[in-house]
Structure 1
Amino acid sequence: MFLTAVYYLLLIVFNLYIAICLLTLLGLLYYKIRIESVKGVCKSNARLDGKIALVTGGNQGIGLETARELAARGARVIIACRGAEKSAEAIQDIVATTGNKQVEYMHLDLSKFSSIRKFAADFNNIYDRLDILVNNAGRGGDKPKYTVDGIDFVMQVNYFGPFLLTKLLTEKLIASKPSRIVIVSSILHFFGNINVDTLDKIVGHSLKAMFYNYNNSKLCGVLWAKALAKKLPEEISVNSLHPGLVRTNIFNKLPPWFRKVFMFLCDLLNFKTPKEGAQTVVHLCVAEEVQNVRGKYFSECCEVKHKGLANNEDLVERVWNKSVELTS
């Protein structure tokens, strides 16, 4: 009886594994065929000489390619990340490929409000302007845990941390207007389901919480762009975006079996390279036609529809107020 029970349990687990793989494959196939059939490319040739750009998570993936492109256009680029060694390698790479030596590193840990406050104080003391702020850094697939500030780790790194950082740099952005704020969200924001009262909490069992808070963090990014568009001067462009399906290491913390399936599908479906994934980010940083566009959501370098819930002005305001409360 015991062996029979074990056999059926393993069979159920195996079938669940196959079902998850098939559903993931079908979902990705639908996305590639219906939504990402054409990869958008930033067509602007705008130069950024004399301007200062800050890119969080700029030492790898989409952030690295964004920093490279902004440097290639003449900007002074500050890479804000945790890893000094990897950032040094990234800077060496950017300088070698662009010829722009104005690329610098500053330590920033978005999972600690104390680190964010120190970073902002140092930045405000060192630099006299901030023309472009790219809130790119993010995490996904991490096991649910709380930060030292008592907030769900993924929610803090992906949303509350960037929220605080932007708030502390707002005066520099206003002083440098016309300036831009770019928020890297995701199409997964469509699966977000926000409860303002538990916005900072771990909700549900481990696997559910892992995806639940990632999706919510990306929905918060869309809501946040809308709130900033209402609260900041008109000369500050602020928008969110979906970079596309990009093969990066953001989901390295996923369970090994699921990560193997995910990486296999990345190859099978020709996921974007980080350079391709950075195109919409760069578009929002430099394109002349979006300087006066505010509170919108972009994909493939074009404005697209976001989740309808983000049009709820009451929700936008309540999430804003909760965010101010938690980061004060």
Structure 2
Amino acid sequence: MILAIGYYLLITALILFLTLCLLVLTTALYVKLKLEPVKGVCTSNVRLDGKIALVTGGNQGIGLETARDLAARGARVLIACRDAKAAAEAIADIRATTGNDLVEFKHLDLAKFSSVRQFAEDFNSSYDRLDILVNNAGCAGLRSKSTEDGIDVVMQVNYFGAFLLTNLLLDKIITSKPSRIVIVSSWLHNYAKLRVEDLHKVGENDFFGQIYTYSNSKLCDLLWTKALAKRLPEGVTVNSLHPGVVKTNIFRRLSGFGLKLINFLCDLMYKTPKEGAQTTIHLCVSEEVEGVRGKYFMECKEAQYSSKADDDALVEQVWNKSLELTNLRDPL
């Protein structure tokens, strides 16, 4: 009797496991067909000679491939990140593959407002223009903790740090128009659970808590795109994008089941970093995007996004709260 019960429980557990696997596979395939039935490619041949482009997180993954493409078009490219060694390797690679020696490293730690302010001060005193700003750097899967500025680290790296950096560089961007601001968001913004009064607070440390924090940061990227689009003068474009499911190491800090699930989905649907960079590059250079502002792109085309990003009241609330938390006066 006990043995029979054991077999029954084992078979039941096996059926449940197989059902879960089938559900995950079906969901992954649906997402693949829904979000990425084709891989968009930037077809623009625009040259960027004499232009200056700044790519945060340009030392690896999507950022590296974005920086490489902009350098191949003749731009002077600044890679802004924390890791000087990784940046040096990336720069040597870009110079070797593009023949463009105008590729530089500038230290930037988005998790520290003091670093962002120092970077902006140095940039504004050293360069006379900024034609393209790519807010690419991001993180995911970090254990929730507060930065020295009192903000959840994922929210600060993915949103508040870029928000502060961009606002501190706006004068250069505006005087360089036609110029472009590109903000790398994510389709996961659709799963955000945003409370404006809690934007800075440390999230939960379980798998789903980390995903919600990441999703919140990416929704803020869309809301901030909308706010900038309403405020910036003609000649400055600002748009956000979902790069696709790209096999990079951004989720490497997840553990256990969460990491295995992410890796499984990425293996099913992933793009290479070069493929994942195409929509970012499209927003940086394509003639089709000239004059387009406040939009969200996937596969080098405008795409649908969460209706929350069209809530003007929420856009303004998040903008004002972000100014408060970064200790900024409204630059526009």
TM-score strictly above 0.5: yes
Task: Name the structure 1 match of 2:296.
Answer: 297
Task: Name the structure 1 match of 2:182.
Answer: 182
1:158-173 alignment, distance < 5 Å: 158-173=158-173
Deviations along 1:260-279, whole A, 9 cap, x unmatched?
Answer: 34323322x24100000000
AA aligned to 1:290 is: V
CA distance, structure 2, for counterparts of residue 15 and residue 52 of structure 1: 57
Q: 1:18 to 1:171 in 2, by over 3 A?
A: farther
Task: Name the structure 2 match of 1:154.
Answer: 154
Q: Give 1:121 shift.
A: 0.5
Q: Give 1:31 shift.
A: 1.3
Task: Name the structure 1 match of 2:41.
Answer: 41
Q: 1:150 to 1:65 in 2, by over 3 A?
A: same
Task: Name the structure 2 match of 1:313.
Answer: 312
Q: Give 1:226 shift.
A: 0.4
AA aligned to 1:312 is: D
Q: 1:262 to 1:212 in 2, by over 3 A?
A: closer
Give the % identical residues.
64
Task: Name the structure 2 match of 1:72.
Answer: 72
How many pairs were matched up? Answer: 318
CA distance, structure 2, for counterparts of residue 12 and residue 320 of structure 1: 51
1:1-328 alignment, distance < 5 Å: 23-204=23-204, 206-267=206-267, 269-328=268-327
CA distance, structure 1, for counterparts of residue 326 and residue 19 of structure 2: 40
Task: Please give the secondary structure, in 2, of the residue aligned with 1:275.
Answer: helix
CA distance, structure 1, for counterparts of residue 205 and residue 64 of structure 2: 34
CA distance, structure 1, for counterparts of residue 225 and residue 49 of structure 2: 26
Q: Where does the alignment leave 5 or more consecutive residues of structure 1 unmatched?
A: 1-10
Q: 1:131 to 1:254 in 2, by over 3 A?
A: same
Task: Please give the secondary structure, in 2, of the residue aligned with 1:237.
Answer: strand
CA distance, structure 2, for counterparts of residue 17 and residue 240 of structure 1: 38
Q: 1:35 to 1:126 in 2, by over 3 A?
A: same
Task: Please give the secondary structure, in 2, of the residue aligned with 1:193.
Answer: coil
CA distance, structure 2, for counterparts of residue 27 and residue 249 of structure 1: 22
Task: Please give the secondary structure, in 1, of the residue aligned with 2:160.
Answer: helix
CA distance, structure 2, for counterparts of residue 14 and residue 199 of structure 1: 41
- What is the root-mean-square deviation of aligned Cα atoms in Å? 2.0
Deviations along 1:211-244, whole A, 9 cap, x unmatched?
Answer: 1110000000011100000111121000000001
Alignment check: 8 A CA contact 1:202 1:209 kept: no
CA distance, structure 2, for counterparts of residue 171 and residue 20 of structure 1: 52
Q: Where does the alignment leave 5 or more consecutive residues of structure 2 unmatched?
A: 1-10, 328-332
Alignment check: 8 A CA contact 2:203 2:210 kept: no
Q: Give 1:12 shift.
A: 12
Deviations along 1:163-203, whole A, 9 cap, x unmatched?
Answer: 00001000000110110000000000011121000011124
